[in-house]
Amino acid sequence: MELILFDLLLLVGAYLYVGATIMLPVQLKKKDIISKFQARKFVHLFAGLSVLSTPYFSWPWYAVIIAGSLTIVTLFSGRDSKVRKLKELYDTIGEEAEEKVGFLEGPFHYCLSITFLVTLFAIVDPSRFYFPIAGILIMIISDTLASLFGKKYGKHRINIKYTGTVRSVEGSAVFFLSAFILSFGTFFIFGYLPCDSQFTLGLDLVVLYSLITSLLGTFIELISPSTYDDLTVPISTTLIIWLLAIVPTLI
């Protein structure tokens, strides 16, 4: 009974947190305190942090419910939405590139990747949620930092012809450094420190997994089209590092 109550309180807390991270920038944009770009980055940086609650649910499907419901919200937050709040969200954080599709394509991919990873690990390996958490944090924070830093300080351009995207050495360096810090923090907190629901990691594996994860994330982000990197970066990075971790135990 206590575990059920704790799960419900955690579920309510997570929803309140996500709701605040969405409604606050909407209201600030309405009052012209922040720009549309700043509102979108605010949502991108903070909403997904709710994934940090995942290892603490005794029933991990609550995390799937949270992620899935947000995926639906972004899918139906569109230019022609009949629901005023959903149209308001689109008007607040929608980008010019999303005018063609008429809905929040970028945030939808963002939420879809979180939903996919949380659902997958809830089914196949709920004792290693630190892998999807690391991949998701890299998408949320490293990708944003690399974009901002690269646009401001990037002098050595990397042109990826087949995707039509342009990266920078400086941006990729910031991506790698921040990804390593985020991965190390995730594996250390949920893997090395005592966490009843998660498989324990030694400090050597924390460092090794952090290095591999950050390298993978940086490379995948470098070669991914900008439109789809919210899908390719977290999903590919998470699945590869997870497979590398479990294969030795199966041999």
Question: What pLDDT score does 207 carry?
Answer: 97
The whole-number pLDDT of residue 163 equals 59
Here the tokens at position 237 are: 């990075």
Are 149 and 164 a contacting pair, CB within 8 Å? no
Q: How many residues does the chain have?
A: 251
Cα separation, 21 vs 105, whole angstroms: 19
Q: Report percent pLDDT > 90 for the chain.
A: 68
pLDDT above 90 (res 144): no
CB 187 within 8 A of CB 204: no
pLDDT at residue 161, rounded to an integer: 67
Q: Tell me the per-residue pLDDT of 179-233, one tens digit each, with 9 for 90 and over.
A: 999 999 999 999 999 888 999 999 999 999 999 999 999 999 888 877 788 899 9
Share of the chain above pLDDT 70, in %: 94
pLDDT per residue as tens digits for the range 82-122: 899 999 999 999 988 888 889 999 899 999 999 999 999 99
Spell out the domain ranges in the chain: 1-124, 125-251
Statement: residue 251 has pLDDT above 60: no
| Residue position matching structure tokens 């199966």 | 250
Q: Could you write out the DSSP letters of every residue in 69-102?
A: HHHHHHHH-BTT-SSHHHHHHHHHH--GGGTTTT
Instruction: Tell me, rounded to whole angstroms, the distance of Cα 233 from its chain centroid.
Output: 9
Give the residue, 77 or 160, on which the prediction is more confident: 77
Residues 149-168 pLDDT 10s: 777 776 767 666 665 666 77
